[in-house]
Copies of this chain bind each other. A is one copy, B any other.
């Protein structure tokens, strides 16, 4: 087998980890590294590599494979299209790009007789794209459930195990390098929904653009919610889910209550987990580290080795995605609603009538002893109810005068 020549776009944490793995493999050779201000990036453990800050240098060198670990949609998408047109196969870790422009880029690849692989774009080192697309190819999958964001999972599981407040856990995650200075994309679900969009395409065969996936932030989660969750035999995770429902989908990223023994509860710290459900195979799961240089580099290298070993059909082809007739954020399911109130008589009655007005049954009321009666947290759980009833009922509950904080609702994810 002749040596596969590789150009690497991006030499940050992931790029450097990829370079180290390439060095450890026979039959593949890193010939070019591209980065802005490349002079600052040059290292002496990559002898014989051409360092450049010009994408044209990369294209002119005609590499067999271009690896893109720059991130961001622009100009990464443009570079990938150029690389495919120039005759290179491409491996990318770019989830936002694949989620938003993947179909177009895969069509580009197909038209050029090239291949575009993106194992690292979802759940880092966990071979979930390959596991679903190839390992479960014989099944019909109807559900994807996952913990797809390591930052949120680190924060939530530290709140759970060390009884930290949200802000403390976030600060710890930032100090440990598991959260960005601006954690918006992670906390508010935009990172996870890009990955869910890709998984819905790969596992369910549905086109589900990220913007059609509702996002609920984990910011309202308080330490007290873990106390109530435990009373209910559950814990709290940022749950990403896409579920086939007739000709449509239920799809969302939301904080949710998961049973303590359930697979999603098993992801701790910055781990990720994906569970898919098939008609024939039942539930099959994949877990591990969803981010970080090493795990992400493993996923990139696996794609590189698949391409260089010709283990991938050429061209990759892009079977048409189905268009979901509808995408709903939730479905008929149990709900948890946590209030913080200025305690007075009549509160439960008022909440109960807001529920009754929308034909929603209260399942239980939980209240642990609490000193501060002016800011008393307690929880109401609701029997399974449709989103169409829940949304107006929650609006009515939010308007009640005794609230001192916005009521916080999340589903029980069974």
Q: Does A118 reach chain B (CB closer than 8 Å)? A: no
The A contact surface, by secondary structure, is mixed
Q: How far is the CA of A281 from the CA of B304 in the complex (A)?
A: 16
Q: Does A286 contact B (CB under 8 A)?
A: yes
Q: How far is the CB of A226 from chain B (nearest CB, A)?
A: 16
Q: Which residue of B lies closest to A119 (CB)?
A: B135
Query: Are A138's CB and B25's CB within 8 A?
Result: yes
Q: Of all chain B residues, which has the CB nearest A314?
A: B310
- Which 4 residue pairs spanning A and B have beta carbons closest together? A127-B135, A138-B301, A284-B288, A125-B281
CA separation between A136 and B283, bound complex, in Å? 22
Complex interface bits, A261-287 against B, C-beta within 8 A gives 1, otherwise 0: 101001010000000001111111111
A138 pairs with B298, CB closer than 8 A: yes
A-B contact pairs, 25 of them (CB 8 A): A17-B280, A25-B138, A125-B136, A134-B134, A134-B306, A135-B302, A137-B305, A138-B299, A138-B302, A138-B305, A139-B298, A266-B266, A279-B294, A280-B298, A281-B289, A281-B294, A281-B295, A282-B288, A283-B289, A284-B288, A284-B289, A285-B285, A285-B286, A285-B288, A286-B286
Give Cα A62 to B139, complex, Å. Answer: 27
A387 within 8 A of B: no
Instruction: Name which residue of chain B comes closest to A127, CB basis.
Output: B135
Q: Give complex CA distance A311, B280 in Å.
A: 22
CB A266 to nearest CB in B, in angstroms, measures 5
A131 on the B face (CB < 8 A): yes
A24 on the interface (CB 8 Å rule)?
A: yes
Q: Is A42 an interface residue (CB 8 A)?
A: no
Contact A304 B138 (CB under 8 A): yes
Is A130 an interface residue, CB under 8 A from the partner? Answer: yes
Residues of B within 8 A of A284 (CB): 125-127, 286-289, 295
On whether the beta carbons of A294 and B282 are closer than 8 Å, the reply is: yes
CA distance A304 to B268 in the complex (A): 36
Among the listed B25, B268, B283, B304, which residue makes an inter-chain contact with A288, where contact means beta carbons less than 8 Å apart? Answer: B283
Do B261 and A140 touch across chains, with their CB atoms under 8 A apart? Answer: no
Q: How far is the CA of A305 from the CA of B133 in the complex (A)?
A: 10
Taken residue by residue from 63 to 89, chain A's Cβ proximity to chain B (1 for < 8 Å, 0 otherwise) reads as 000000000000000000000000000
**Does A60 touch B at the CB level, under 8 Å?**
no
List the B side residues contacting A134 at CB < 8 Å. 127, 130, 134, 302, 305-306, 311
Most-contacted residue by chain B among A126, A263, A300 (CB, 10 A): A126
- Report chain B residues within 8 Å CB of A140: 24
Interface centre among A134, A135, A286 (most CB of B within 10 A): A135
